[in-house]
Amino acid sequence: MGGFYKATCCDIAALYNARMVISIGGMIFSFPRNPSTRRRPIARLKRASSLRAVQWTARGMAIIALALAAAVGAAATRPVILVVGDSISAGYGLPPGSGWTALLASRLEQQHYAFAVVNASISGDTTAGGRTRLPALLDQHHPAIVVIELGGNDGLRGTDLATTRANLDAMIDASKKAGARVVLVGMKLPPNYGSAYTTRFDALYTDASKRFNVALVPFFFAGFAERNDLFQPDRVHPTQAAQPLLLDNVWPALQPLLGKPR
């Protein structure tokens, strides 16, 4: 589960004597139980057929509501990493919550980086689609970091590379003007597209990263592109087993932008 769930879930730490102790998001609260249930034997509570066996007092509910509001507010103030990508980042063909962006959220939590991950990736998206969607995403999320993982579908469709270049440039420029730092995720094309086209396509990402001075992931599939066992039957989309490898390829470019762990 992600940090938001952890921060807002109620964990009943103890029920003893006349008081109820509850831990919410690391904060401890203690308050009286309803007098009508104070002296009931535990055995009778276990035999009760409904949740009405233990009745929360109005005071207790108010404390919980305030604590939850505080926890949600704290989560909402975390800086955002916005991922704008295609089906690779959208988790095409994968169980929900198993894609590399979900693994990124878990790694950030485990390593104590106080960031929220917003995955705005859409299967089939192109640089043109991303360029169109990005302004609204920037206005909505005010990201600290934008990860741009687009262009693969442009190349597979034989899009004019001048158009792809202009779209990537516009997305990077808009992100930087919005105050975000950028990670550009590069992709490569199969050799059957011809050496001239694939060479020009590969150069798109390197050139853009240099011109705009942004972090670059040279090749998203680095280290496993030739392993058929790590791709779904379409040979385009990585399997669940490959998701940690995708994250490991992004991490060296992303981590320096995160600052110090909390």
Is 87 known to be catalytic?
Answer: yes
Q: Which of 121, 154, 209, 237 is catalytic?
A: 237
Token pair of 184 as six digits: 């550009």
Q: Which of 87, 89, 121, 175 is catalytic?
A: 87
Contact between 20 and 60 under an 8 Å Cβ cutoff? The reply is yes
Selection from 164, 187, 167, 180 nearest residue 246 by Cα:
187
Selection from 126, 176, 177 nearest residue 155 by Cα:
126
Instruction: Tell me the DSSP string of 98-149.
Output: -SHHHHHHHHHHHTT---EEEE---TT--HHHHHHHHHHHHHHH--SEEEEE
Is 237 known to be catalytic?
Answer: yes
Strand duo 80-85 + 27-32: pairing: unpaired
Question: How deeply is 242 buried, as exposed, middle or buried, from its count of CB atoms within 10 A (0-12, 13-18, 19+)?
Answer: buried
Q: Which of 139, 160, 229, 234 is catalytic?
A: 234
Q: CA 161, 212, 190: angle at the middle one, nearest 5?
A: 35
Active site residues: 87, 234, 237
